[in-house]
Structure 1
């Protein structure tokens, strides 16, 4: 599944999601988490269709065996804060994933 997410992100840099405009900003280099097999992270900006405030978020996908954990961190309009947040929360998700699978 992570390969599918990565291919979709790399193949489509801008898209519409429920009317919101989304632009992929780039990858997040996730560390090799213990007892996990695959990982992929990226950041994107979203401009809401309803005129709400635009924001930047970063997603991380982490896999072990047949289970994938996904994490999204939104820290306003600051890409670096979102990137650091997804690294921190991604590590927690990877630790939990290693315990249950």
Structure 2
């Protein structure tokens, strides 16, 4: 069952796809569409869940983007942190696993 998102951060219908693994460029892009955010960070098992070292770029009114270097082969968990207070799974990524509480982690396999 998919967890409910906060009404302050409703998803939009446009799909950019996330994450996008580019083997040729050796990068991974993460996209998020969220309307009312003023700050978004990417955090996951690949950066020890740091809330500050992977800040996403605000590219349009509701589009956020970050590109990171390719990760070593493996399975990683991640989420987006909205305005330093709300964790959100990647709604563009159907791969997720329970986080041990009432939510989910998004899953990236490289």
More helix by percentage: 1
TM-score (norm 2): 0.31
Over alpha carbons, which structure has the higher Rg?
1
TM-score (norm 1): 0.33
- Considering Cα pairs closer than 8 Å and 6+ residues apart, tell me whether 1 or 2 has the greater RCO: 2
